[in-house]
Amino acid sequence: MFDLDRWQEIYHVLRKNKLRTFLTAFGVFWGIFMLVVMMGSGEGLRNGISQNFGDMATNSVFIWAQQTSVPYKGFTRGRRFDYENADVRALSEAIPEIKYLAPRTNVGGYNGSSNVIRGLKSGAFQIFGDYPVFDSIDPVNLLQGRFINELDVKEKRKVVVIGQRVKELLFEKDENPINKYIQINGVYFNVVGLFSSKRTGEAASYDNQRLHMPFTTCQKTFNMGDAIGFFNITSKNGIPVAVVEEKAIRVLKKRHAVAPSDDAAIGHFNLEVEYKKMVGLFFGIRVLVWIVGIGTLLAGVIGVSNIMLVVVKERTKEIGIQRALGATPRIIISQIMTESVVLTTFSGYFGLTLGVGLLELINYLLEKSGADTEMFLHPGINFNVAIIALAILVVAGAIAGLVPARKAVSVKPIDALRYE
Amino acid sequence: MINISNIHKTYVTGNNKLHVLKGINLRVEAGEMISVMGASGSGKSTLLNILGILDNHDHGEYILNGIRIENLNERKAAQLRNKYLGFVFQSFNLVSFKNAMENVALPLYYQSVKRKKRNAIAMEFLERMGLSEWAQHLPNELSGGQKQRIAIARALIAKPKVILADEPTGALDSVTSQEVMDILTDINKKENITMLIVTHEHDIAKRTQKTIRITDGMITETVIN
Ligand SMILES: Nc1ncnc2c1ncn2[C@@H]1O[C@H](COP(=O)(O)OP(=O)(O)OP(=O)(O)O)[C@@H](O)[C@H]1O
Ligand SMILES: [Mg+2]
């Protein structure tokens, strides 16, 4: 197997047909290169999109109130309404499939006017009134302190959990924000926690400009009365959130005198459906990449088979000599298959290396430029996939060599010897 | 050593059938050196190829060193060729990208002899042919006589029982031809290797013990030289 003569022969054969060997090798090289680059890009796209989800429970639905579009029970169309605290209990009781139910309120926005002040520093941030359960639906990384707890909600404490960016803008660099006071819309709140987003990219910077206070505190302090901004609901494991979504909408319609046929009155967004679409899309991309990649690779391998056929034909007489001297079919076949495997594996390995190299380069450039890569992150291929691709190549090379090799031994030795 | 009886061979090309060997009977004892003569197209090479298990016969019986040669698979045939037979061709048939030493060593390569060992043995045989200083040369750097001596060394290295030579001097001038014949007769005498040599030249045939003449696919004459 590792006899030098074997490699000498391979070297000689491949070198003798330099251009043809090169073109063939290039076919395989290109096939695997394309496969790697396409798979890596697909992965980058997937990473880019998934970063927008963080650790958020994907089986969740958001429900908020809009304007009615159908007159009902004596109300005209175009009526505005709010959800209220009593809805929370009603929903929980009516829908056993609910796992977490988080009502939320919000004040201000990060692109509005400054609403948070500390001494001379101030900023415009998104302020939410939340229940502790929110942290189970869309978790954050707690860096210091704690999240809102039940007692905060019950006692309507003026406490707040702040995002990393908020801290950066309101506090000194190495100042501890815990137990410090900040002013939100003129009211003082005690900072009890500091968090960072679990997402990356733009989604993260958005998250890090949030403040969370107890739901009840928010309602009371900012005179919202009983009003709820929106619900964030997740379903129990194994139950599609669409079930919860539909039931919740029915319950809410009934409670707020919305016509059953009024589809515009209640706004809702089903994250699970979006997530599934995304997963389906990525599956589709992956399938496509494999089809195209394997197709290209197959073309390359057929090229290898082709050149081996030519080589075998050109060497007919020489193979005849070898057989006259006692080379068994096994020796001849394994020699030709080795040539084919060497050719495919070498060029495939180059394709693999260069493909991975290109992905690394893109990765490096993306990171260095600090570009806002909302759609694309860490392109790369799984190590196992690379190994599988290489294994496929070796097998493909063997198969590519098999046909010519069999052809070489199918003729009688004398006919091979006489071949001009 | 070789015993054939009633060997027939017909070539079929398209619709044409050519009956080349029409019942050949021949017995060659171990250590005999025989020459085969005959007109062009009479079937000399065909006979030699059948004896060399490079081609198969249609009818008749062929026994080589006590082994019946019939319906062998290619693996077995290759092993028999490697073990019992050595070939010398008119056109030398050296492998172009292997140097003289590697060419000589080739039959041992197929016996899986380690490279170092088989090359050492090949050097011994090259020395016997007086070609040691050409060991590292490729065939295209050698003269016809040198090439044929390398081919003979290659035919000898696996210590065969029979050497089959199809016009071994056909491409050589008369002086070189005699030198090659010197080597062959020397080997025949010293190593007691059986030899069949196809030739068109009488002075080559004369140097063998026995000459058989093939005419139109049959042995028509046997002459003791
Ligand atoms: N593979 C083949 N297919 C068809 N016909 C063949 C084949 N090989 C040889 N023949 C024919 O068989 C006949 C005998 O050929 P062979 O080579 O045995 O002759 P030969 O006696 O060696 O002649 P030469 O002295 O010219 O070498 C010739 O007519 C040749 O054309
Ligand atoms: Mg002939």
Does the structure show a pLDDT above 60 at A1? no
Gap between the Cα atoms of A89 and A246, Å rounded: 17
Does the structure show a pLDDT above 80 at A378? no
- Specify the ligand 1 atom closest to the Cα of B12: 4
Ligand 1 lined by B44 (C-beta under 6 Å): yes
Ligand 1 lined by B41 (C-beta under 6 Å): yes
The reply to whether residue A417 touches residue B98, judged by beta carbons under 8 angstroms, is no
pLDDT tens for residues A340-370? 888 888 888 888 889 888 888 888 887 777 6
3-state secondary structure string across chain B: CEEEEEEEEEEEECCEEEEEEEEEEEEECCCCEEEEEECCCCCHHHHHHHHCCCCCCCEEEEEECCEECCCCCHHHHHHHHHHHEEEEECCCCCCCCCCHHHHHHHHHHCCCCCHHHHHHHHHHHHHHCCCHHHCCCCHHHCCHHHHHHHHHHHHHCCCCCEEEEECCCCCCCHHHHHHHHHHHHHHHHHHCCEEEEECCCHHHHCCCCEEEEEECCEEEEEEEC
A323 → chain B, closest CA residue: B78
What is the structure's pLDDT at A2?
65
Residues of B in contact with A318 (CB under 8 A): 95-96
Of A317, A322, A409, the CB nearest to B74: A409
Q: Does residue B17 form part of some domain?
A: no
Q: What is the DSSP letter of A236?
A: P
What is the structure's pLDDT at B5?
92
Contact of A8 with chain B, judged by CB distance below 8 Å, is answered with yes
pLDDT tens for residues A292-310? 888 887 888 888 888 888 8
Q: What is the DSSP letter of A229?
A: -
The reply to whether residue B54 touches residue A414, judged by beta carbons under 8 angstroms, is yes
Place A400 in a pLDDT band, splitting at 50, 70 and 90: confident
Of B89, B96, B110, the CB nearest to A327: B110
- Burial readout A376-412 (b: 16 or more C-beta within 10 A, e: otherwise): bbbbbbeeeebeebbebbeebbbbbbbbbbeebbebb
Q: Does residue B82 form part of some domain?
A: yes
Place B157 in a pLDDT band, splitting at 50, 70 and 90: very high
ipTM for the whole complex? 0.92
A49 Cα: distance to centroid of ligand 2 (angstroms): 76
- Phi then psi dihedrals of residue A149, to 5 deg: -120, 175
Does the structure show a pLDDT above 70 at A374? no
Our CA-based measurement puts residue B123 at a distance from the nearest CA of chain A, in whole angstroms, of: 16
Our CA-based measurement puts residue B189 at a distance from the nearest CA of chain A, in whole angstroms, of: 23
Does the structure show a pLDDT above 90 at B142? yes
What is the structure's pLDDT at A417?
87
What is the structure's pLDDT at B133?
93
Contact of B78 with chain A, judged by CB distance below 8 Å, is answered with yes
Query: Between the CA of residue A254 and those of A60, A94, A247, what are the distances in Å?
Result: 22, 12, 11
Q: Give, for ligand 1, the residue of A411, A414, A417, A418 to mutate: max count of ligand atoms closer than 8 Å to Cβ.
A: A418
- Specify the ligand 1 atom closest to the Cα of B47: 18
**Mean pLDDT over all residues of chain A?**
86
The reply to whether residue B107 touches residue A413, judged by beta carbons under 8 angstroms, is no
Q: Does residue B165 form part of some domain?
A: yes
Of B49, B96, B107, the CB nearest to A325: B107
In the block, tokens 């039931």 appear at: A247
What is the structure's pLDDT at B213?
95
pLDDT tens for residues B57-77? 999 999 999 999 988 899 999
The reply to whether residue B75 touches residue A329, judged by beta carbons under 8 angstroms, is yes
**Could you list the residue range(s) of the whole structural domain that residue B99 is in?**
32-55+72-224
Structural domains of chain B, count:
1
Does the structure show a pLDDT above 70 at B132? yes
- Phi then psi dihedrals of residue A80, to 5 deg: -100, 150
Ligand 1 lined by B46 (C-beta under 6 Å): yes
Residues of B in contact with A331 (CB under 8 A): 110
- Specify the ligand 1 atom closest to the Cα of B49: 18
Place B199 in a pLDDT band, splitting at 50, 70 and 90: very high
Our CA-based measurement puts residue B163 at a distance from the nearest CA of chain A, in whole angstroms, of: 12
Cβ pair B4, B24 in contact under 8 A: yes
Closest-CA residue, ligand 1 atom 22, reads: B45
Q: Does residue B19 form part of some domain?
A: no
Beta bridge mates, A117: A122, A183
Q: What is the DSSP letter of A378?
A: -
Contact of A420 with chain B, judged by CB distance below 8 Å, is answered with no
Percent of chain A with pLDDT over 70: 96
What is the structure's pLDDT at A112?
60
Does the structure show a pLDDT above 60 at B90? yes
Does the structure show a pLDDT above 60 at A111? no
Q: How many CB pairs under 8 A join A and B?
A: 72
A413 → chain B, closest CA residue: B54
DSSP helix/strand/coil, A78: coil
pLDDT tens for residues B171-186? 889 898 998 899 999 9
What is the structure's pLDDT at A136?
87
Place A371 in a pLDDT band, splitting at 50, 70 and 90: low
B44 Cα: distance to centroid of ligand 2 (angstroms): 6
pLDDT tens for residues A42-97? 888 877 777 777 777 788 899 998 888 888 888 888 888 888 888 989 998 999 99
Does the structure show a pLDDT above 90 at A211? yes
Beta bridge mates, A266: A65
Of A5, A330, A414, the CB nearest to B115: A5
**DSSP3 helix / strand / coil % (chain A, rounded to 5):** 55, 20, 30
Our CA-based measurement puts residue B47 at a distance from the nearest CA of chain A, in whole angstroms, of: 12
**Mean pLDDT over all residues of chain B?**
92
Contact of A190 with chain B, judged by CB distance below 8 Å, is answered with no
What is the structure's pLDDT at A143?
93
CATH number where B176 lies = 3.40.50.300
B215 Cα: distance to centroid of ligand 1 (angstroms): 13
Ligand 1 lined by B15 (C-beta under 6 Å): no
What is the structure's pLDDT at B63?
93
Q: Does residue B15 form part of some domain?
A: no
Q: Give, for ligand 1, the residue of B7, B21, B44 to mutate: max count of ligand atoms closer than 8 Å to Cβ.
A: B44
Does the structure show a pLDDT above 90 at A10? no
Give how far the C-alpha of residue A360 lies from the chain's centroid of Cα atoms, to the nearest Å: 18
Half-sphere exposure of A32 (CA within 13 A, CB side): 31
Cβ pair A99, A237 in contact under 8 A: yes
Averaged pLDDT for residues A399-406:
88
Of A4, A324, A331, the CB nearest to B81: A324
A409 → chain B, closest CA residue: B74
Q: Does residue B18 form part of some domain?
A: no
Query: Between the CA of residue A205 and those of A104, A174, A195, A370, B111, what are the distances in Å?
Result: 21, 20, 12, 14, 72
A333 → chain B, closest CA residue: B75
Q: pTM for the full model?
A: 0.72
